Structure 1
Amino acid sequence: MLKQVRSEGIGVSTAFALPMLVARDQGFFADEGLDVTFHDNRQAQRLPDTIVDPALVDSIRTHVPFEEGDVNIYRACEWGQIRRARDSRRGGKIIGKRSSVAVMAIVSAPGSKYTYPQTLRNAPISVSFHNGNHYATLQMLEGFMARDEINVVGQHHTFGLEAVRRGDVAAIALTEPWLTVAEKQGFQKVIETHYAGSEIAGPELDADTYAAMRRAEIRAVDLINADKKRFLPYLIAALPEGVRETVTPDDFWLPRLRFVEPEPYTRDEFERAYAWIRSWDLIGPGTDFADIVDNRFLPESVAA
């Protein structure tokens, strides 16, 4: 009998879980004795139209199925995972870095005056608080303006694009496949970056199971990197009805999609990221690496 594992991966997080979805469909998990299924979290992504204070937003909100025990593992941005591991009510810990190197870009409306980072000084920018687009926006812009000139507001991408088009906000931060959707519609890119993420798992996901998952995932990463265009239908299918029909695989810029072999999450990486989050008052004091990180798989070179 195959060992059962339940993962997030359908919806906004599809781009981050693509190697796992491919590993499932190519039989790589089955080869390792695993049956990995995926939770559809598209409905869980909805937010009120506008929120201006991140303190009013629950860092766990889109990952409630994990906290309720319906999901064993999920992946998101490095910064948000530190916050969520700290806030986890069921002992979720960071167990390693994810294989997806995410892209994030800030885009403004077609013909907008917001054409380069400094033009966004004090202008409202739509993000999803405590997620990668929130943190990446702060990181991208703090090199161009004072921190108190960065004005982020929380909205969901489905509604945020229209808010940008109407002029309710100046710009929005997007990852794939929403970035391709926006560019297809003529939105202009202001600034773009890539960033790392990590995986959080419950205490029930043992080291041997995670090592098996990792082996299958690496096979999938190699397959994806050999022909990225082949796997773009996964990302398109994750878009809402009425949006997915507007883009095709030919619309994507393939170098944006980057997948690497997952690695352990180091103390140095944690300390740097945690200090930065603290500097923005987006997490409280008193969190130690050992409190929230449990690398379930350590290569011999690291373990030694």
Structure 2
Amino acid sequence: MASFTIHTHGRLQEWVAEENGYFAAEGLTDYALSSHGLISPTHARAHAVPAIPDNRQGAYQSYQQGRDASVSCACHWTVNKAASAEFGRLWGECYTVTPCAIFVPAGSAIGTPEDLADVAVHVGYQSGSHYTTIQALEPFLPADRIKLAFGGSPADRVDQLLDGSATAATVFGAQYYLMEQLGFRKIADATFMIAAMVPHQVDLADVARYFAALRRAQIDIDIGHQPYTRYFANELPERHRNLVDVRRFGPGERLVFEPYSRAMYDRTQTWIDARDIFPGQQPLPNSYTDAVIRLQPAE
């Protein structure tokens, strides 16, 4: 068994780093890539049609239960909260930004964000789509008219759009390109930040090697992502992979090698708590210094 397990998170960078030998070049040789269960190509359909989604197992719960990875990713809101709860530590030397949107079927009467008033948008519970849908709709709707349904994983929400059990759903990354290619309409952009989580026992030197390899891979993707989009096929369940041509997909997540600062950390905690996304939970006390890994002095 490899000593360093990497969750690929539905993106290209890890696959490019492996193809081009960047992990080995940076000194990370004993590793394995593993698709995380929330977006795994082996993810089975969770329910029959018609579905009434109320799936409250999301990204935060996966950290609460423990992920089998030396480094993994989720939206920065969840990783921030999970690190504050001491489920691991947030890697503070970089983050990623992913394309994301609220989609509706092509023939839907919904044409603007205002048309989503009191309409349940399917999202993942305490996962990126949960937070970002609120963030995307707040400029258009009062809080009491933003409605969410907890539809499960990105793959589940694709199924719900395809079978008509979702009037609207928020998806990101590979699923964003899938829905776009199938002709679903984007109602609001919901691009969001993703952060990495590192368990307490993991060797930080190996984590630094991993991100150095991803930095190299990001340059290759920036120069031309088209040779690598075939790797999105690894990140889609077969039932979805067979519907689309992944060669037409965009680059997906982009790594930003800027620090996740104390101001970002505090602002995120305040935003989450103000919206009662963790009902009944008191604000978590862990400090930025305890929750976030910085190799350089924190600003």
**1:20 alignment partner in structure 2:** 14
**Equivalent pair of 2:90/2:196 in contact (CA under 8 Å):** yes
Runs of 5+ unmatched residues, structure 2: none
Q: CA RMSD in A?
A: 2.7
**1:271 alignment partner in structure 2:** 266
**Equivalent pair of 2:113/2:187 in contact (CA under 8 Å):** yes
1:95 to 91, 98, 106: 91
1:195 to 171, 192, 196: 192
Q: Distance in 2 between matches of 1:123 and 1:165?
A: 17
Q: Distance in 1 between matches of 2:46 and 2:240?
A: 18
The verdict on how the C-alpha distance between 1:109 and 1:303 changes in structure 2, with shifts beyond 3 A counting, is closer
**2:292 alignment partner in structure 1:** 294
**1:169 alignment partner in structure 2:** 166
**Equivalent pair of 1:19/1:99 in contact (CA under 8 Å):** no
1:222 to 219, 222, 225: 219
Q: Distance in 2 between matches of 1:51 and 1:168?
A: 9
Mapping for residues 70-149 of structure 1, pairs under 5 Å: 70-88=68-86, 91-96=87-92, 98-149=94-145
The verdict on how the C-alpha distance between 1:112 and 1:86 changes in structure 2, with shifts beyond 3 A counting, is same
Q: Distance in 2 between matches of 1:6 and 1:253?
A: 26
Q: Distance in 2 between matches of 1:187 and 1:237?
A: 23
The verdict on how the C-alpha distance between 1:207 and 1:263 changes in structure 2, with shifts beyond 3 A counting, is farther
Amino acid at match of 1:84: A
After TM superposition, give the deviation of residue 162 of structure 1 in Å.
Answer: 4.3
**Equivalent pair of 2:233/2:241 in contact (CA under 8 Å):** yes
Amino acid at match of 1:272: R
After TM superposition, give the deviation of residue 46 of structure 1 in Å.
Answer: 6.6
Runs of 5+ unmatched residues, structure 1: none
**1:235 alignment partner in structure 2:** 232
Q: Secondary structure at the match of 1:136?
A: helix
Residues 233-288 of structure 1, C-alpha deviations (whole Å, 9 max, x = no match)? 1113211113212222443245xx35234333211001111111001112331333
Moved segments of 4+, more than 6 Å: none
Q: Secondary structure at the match of 2:92?
A: strand
After TM superposition, give the deviation of residue 101 of structure 1 in Å.
Answer: 1.3
Q: Distance in 2 between matches of 1:210 and 1:166?
A: 41
TM-score of the superposed pair, with normalisation by structure 1: 0.83
**1:178 alignment partner in structure 2:** 175
**Equivalent pair of 2:81/2:284 in contact (CA under 8 Å):** no
Amino acid at match of 1:103: P
Amino acid at match of 1:5: F
TM-score of the superposed pair, with normalisation by structure 2: 0.85
Q: Distance in 1 between matches of 2:165 and 2:14?
A: 37
1:33 matched to 2:27? The reply is yes
Q: Distance in 2 between matches of 1:151 and 1:96?
A: 32
The verdict on how the C-alpha distance between 1:167 and 1:19 changes in structure 2, with shifts beyond 3 A counting, is closer
